[in-house]
Amino acid sequence: MVDNLTRFRSQNARVVRHEARPEADEDGYQAFSFGRVGPRPQMTLLFRKANGEVRGFPYAQFDGIESDNPDDGFVVKFGRTLISIEGRNLNRLFQYVCNYKAAEIVEASPRVAVQLCATQPNVWRVIVTN
């Protein structure tokens, strides 16, 4: 019985191709990353600051997202905690957070932020407020 199940799974196995990830610059900076492909959402959203500090929040506590202009920034709510994201070209990131697909948001160091081209997603500041 188990052998038949294994054989069935291996015959019907298929490769799931990942979406193209946002391109990193020469220093390896990437404004955000996303994880799971398909209908399954991410479990946690990490906020990585330029100084190395990392804060994570489970999407189960996600209370909403607000923005006047998602391309320039937005505010994410996790319970009583507000996380302000400021930058440029953040529309795609905004959509990933709305759909529980973003895995982490990475703040660029000032040196890296200045060097990025104008069309690349760039997170200038991540501010966590309790």
Average pLDDT of span 72-92: 96
Average pLDDT over residues 108-119: 86
Residue 85's domain spans which residues? 2-129
DSSP assignment of 53-66:
-EEEEEGGGEEEEE
The model carries a pTM of 0.72
pLDDT averaged over the chain? 79
Phi-psi region of 86 (alpha: psi -120 to 50; beta: other; left: phi over 0): beta
Q: How confident is the model at residue 34 (pLDDT cuts 50, 70, 90)?
A: low
Specify the DSSP class assigned to residue 126.
E
Q: Which of 90, 44, 84, 46 shows the shortest CA–CA distance to 70?
A: 90
How many structural domains is the chain composed of?
1
